Structure 1
Amino acid sequence: MASSSSSAITTEELTLTVKWSGKEYTVRVCGDDSIAELKRRISEVTNVLPKRQKLLYPKVGSKLSHDATLLSQLPLKASLKMTMIGTVEDDLLIDPVESPEILDDFELGQEEVIDIKDKDVNKQKLRRRVEQYKIETRNPCRKGKKLLVLDIDYTLFDHRSTAENPLELMRPYLHEFLTAAYAEYDIMIWSATNMKWVELKMAQLGVLDNTNYKITALLDHLAMITVQSDTRGVFDCKPLGLIWAKFPEFYSSKNTIMFDDLRRNFVMNPQNGLTIRPFKKAHANRSNDQELMKLTQYLLAIAELDDISKLDHKHWEYYTENGSKRRRHA
């Protein structure tokens, strides 16, 4: 660990003191962490979401407002205290519709994806996340089942439209999809929001207490890691390696698939990600959205394979279409 006399953070771990709302909190960080990762660590102990945080530190100034800045580039010392200004959201009252919408999804080149996935710094971040994040299982993992990991916003639910009843914003065929998938897959929900909102939304949609299927676990934004690309800068992603490390006897790259409307979220495990069409403007599109119905066919069709990571999930519709043709000819 770096000593308190160090002039800046090294690649080793350092414990920082953060003052907020009259109390002091300690967070452990490394020099290869970014400001975004520091905010995530602060969020863990204060429940103030990263987007609500403003950090103040002697002589650092505006650099703390840039999430991409690495901590090793700042003169941080363990002997000094950082101040955080921010407000805890009451997740039961404030809907994420107030937050800015992420419109700039992007697709990285294959070489850049490989570079991000294989970088030692990102592997180290993943190892630390495995050590720090605890996955609470709601239902037991089932031996012999594959794993389906699902995003929420724009994947299962239109979180930006308004309605008196949340069920009006639920993606069509959600319960039928989960019921069919559960026969072959354990199901985990992973959202980039916080856990209270995940639990609230899934409860409102009737997902947590459905008698036809069971959810194995819920994950939130604290399970994500921050990575950096040469062309797209710093962004968060959902490393499936976290789940594989927690449940190695059940899940691996060979039997896991993740659905998300943002392809950036599976940059650490591109062979396991399927980019789902976003479900937006629920009131206008509810009557003609059949994405989950079609994806049910795909999931069941590939469930018999020993290694689904060998598939190119970009072409899932073609795979399903060919399967239907083969069944008709047979």
Structure 2
Amino acid sequence: MEDVNLNKINLVIKWSGKEFKLNDFDTNNTVLLLKQAIQNVTGVLPERQKLLNVKFRGKPADDTVVISTLNLKDGFKIMMMGSLEESIAQINTPQEPNDVVNDLDLPDEELTVDNSIYISKIEKRIATYKIDILNPPRDNKYLIVLDIDYTIFDHRSTAEQPVELMRPYLHEFLTTLYPYYDIMFWSATSMKWILEKLKLLGVTNHPDYKIVCHLDSAAMISVSSSSPKHELVDVKPLQVIWGKFPQYSPTNTVMLDDIRHNFLMNKQSGLRIRAFRQAHFNRYKDKELFFLAKYLKYIAKKHIDLTTLNHRKWESFISHAKDLDQILYGEEDLTANTTSQNENSNNTTAED
């Protein structure tokens, strides 16, 4: 009687921003039976499912692999991608998406925070938070710190392939800026999911640019805002990076995030990017990164002190820069990629 549950395991399925529990799953079952169990709780057909972190000998486990051979620990979280049949049908029915602006954000008012109150918290993060340096910082470079969810990746929509949820021009954007900017990613999630997402998006080992490091939610701190209710919010204080890497400062650092309060302690350094949602509708027309590349490259080539800029007006800035074309001479590659992507978009159809 004591051995009844030795072959049972509890699993968690992460899909479309939600978690689904699979309790007492028999490890003598195959991956196909696992997918059928997942269908029962999510509605996604087995043939639509991609179990992103279920690997066998370094490769995605096929349907015949027995679960016990995967050495999954109890409580293991499986990251799944896949579309419901009704979602696929909706993709083939074009509609104008709603422009959601402030989801997950505080009201778009002038929020402030007294940084001096949180000096000890920041000093503790600098002293205790461990950063794994993937590639060493380079001399005399600006720094760009990017968020992931809704900034470069629509993490709540469903798709057959991760690339379908990637913001357009991501690789062109990073490739264009890399000669001038060191690159870091900072996401309000665990390091496990940061690494998984960037790997799926093809960022981790891209041949045309390198990432200095990643920061996760453990590097953030909680602060009380100046809003009427004094909401307690988690923020990404760039002082943690500046304390770890003294070559970076407010003069040469910009943070891209779709949630403004994430850079509440460094408002001068924050650039709020429009959230990338409903990827199936917007991936063919979203050009945010294309135009931001022009703005940020122009800044770097002109050696502009970032403390002198108001990033809220970045679009107006590039539209009024009379020497933009002259300074950005050599932008042909990105422009060519725009044409290529547009052509590919016109020739792309949703998978059945």
What TM-score, normalized by structure 2, do the two folds share?
A: 0.62
1:316 has 2:314 as partner: yes
**Does 1:93 pair with 2:79?**
yes
Q: Which residue of 2 aligns with 1:305?
A: 303
- Distance (Å, rounded) in 1 between the aligned partners of 2:220 and 2:74: 20
Partner amino acid for 1:105? D
The 8 Å contact of residues 107 and 264 in structure 1, kept in 2 or not, is answered as no
CA 244–106 in structure 1, closer or farther in 2 if over 3 Å, else same: same
Shift of 1:230: 4.0
Q: Is the 8 A contact 2:136 2:212 kept in 1?
A: yes
Contact 1:92 1:197 (8 Å CA) reproduced: no
Q: Equivalent residues in 2 for 1:153-302 (5 A)?
A: 153-231=149-227, 232-248=230-246, 250-302=247-299
Residues 4-45 of structure 1 deviation map (CA, whole Å, 9 limit, x = unaligned) = xxxxxxxxxxxxxxxxxxxxxxxxxxxxxxxxxxxxxxxxxx
What amino acid sits opposite 1:93 in the alignment?
Answer: M
Give the alignment of 1:147-158 within 5 angstroms.
Answer: 147-158=143-154
- Paired position in structure 1 for 2:132: 136
Q: Verify the 8 A CA contact 2:135 2:212 in the aligned structure 1.
A: yes
Q: Is the 8 A contact 2:121 2:221 kept in 1?
A: yes
Specify the alignment match of 1:105 in structure 2. Answer: 105
**Residue 128 of structure 1: how far off its partner (Å):** 1.1
Q: How many residues align?
A: 235
Any unmatched runs of 5+ in structure 1? 1-51, 53-86, 96-101
Going from structure 1 to structure 2, the CA distance change for 1:106 and 1:293 (only over 3 Å counts) comes to same
3-state DSSP of counterpart to 2:144: strand
CA contact (8 A) 1:258 1:274 kept: yes
Corresponding residue for residue 343 of structure 2: none
How far off is 1:104 after superposition? 3.9
Contact between 1:258 and 1:272, CA under 8 Å: does it hold in 2? yes
Computed over aligned residues only, the root mean square deviation of the Cα atoms, in angstroms, reads 2.5
Q: How far 1:93 sits from its partner (Å)?
A: 2.9
Q: Is the 8 A contact 2:318 2:324 kept in 1?
A: no
The Cα shift of 1:117 comes to 3.8
**Shift in Å at residue 328 of structure 1?**
6.2
Q: CA contact under 8 A between 1:117 and 1:269: conserved in structure 2?
A: no
Given the superposition, is the C-alpha separation of residues 89 and 199 from structure 1 closer, same or farther in structure 2, using an over 3 Å criterion?
A: farther
1:93 partner SS:
strand
Note if contact 1:92-1:200 (Cα within 8 Å) is conserved in structure 2: no
Shift of 1:88: 8.9
Correspondences of 1:5-20 after superposition (within 5 Å): none
Residues 298 and 324, structure 2, Cα contact 8 Å, conserved in 1: no
Instruction: State the Cα distance separating 1:109 from its structure 2 match.
Output: 5.2
Q: Does the Cα contact within 8 Å between 2:251 and 2:305 map onto a contact in 1?
A: yes
Cα distance in 1, alignment partners of residues 120 and 74 from structure 2: 30
User: What is the percentage of aligned positions where both structures have the same residue?
Assistant: 47
Per-residue CA deviations over 1:70-102 (Å, capped at 9, x if unaligned) read: xxxxxxxxxxxxxxxxx996454368xxxxxx8
3-state SS in 2 of match to 1:130:
helix
Distance change in 2, residues 1:328/1:255 (3 Å): closer
Equivalent pair of 1:226/1:237 in contact (CA under 8 Å): yes
Secondary structure of residue in 2 paired with 1:293: helix
Q: For residue 298 of structure 2, what is the amino acid of its counterpart?
A: A
Partner amino acid, structure 2, of 1:133 = Y
Task: Check whether the contact 1:256–1:272 (CA below 8 A) recurs between aligned residues.
Answer: yes
User: 1:222 aligns to what SS in structure 2?
Assistant: helix
- Partners in 2 of 1:225 and 1:253 — Cα distance? 19
Amino acid at match of 2:310: D
Moved over 4 A (4+): 107-110, 327-330
TM-score between both structures, scaled by the size of structure 1: 0.67
Which structure: larger Rg?
A: 2
Unaligned stretches of 5+ residues in structure 2:
1-18, 20-72, 82-101, 328-352
Instruction: Verify the 8 A CA contact 1:224 1:239 in the aligned structure 2.
Output: yes
Structure 1 residues 140 and 155, CA, compared in 2 at 3 Å: closer, same or farther?
Answer: same
Matched residue, 1:25: none
- CA contact under 8 A between 1:117 and 1:267: conserved in structure 2? no
Gap change, CA 1:90 and 1:263, over 3 Å in 2? farther
Query: Secondary structure of the residue that 2:317 maps to in structure 1?
Result: helix
- Contact 1:262-1:275 at 8 Å conserved across structures: yes
State the shift of 1:327 in Å. Answer: 4.4
Offset at residue 167 of structure 1 (A): 0.5
Distance in 2 of aligned mates of 1:293 and 1:181:
11
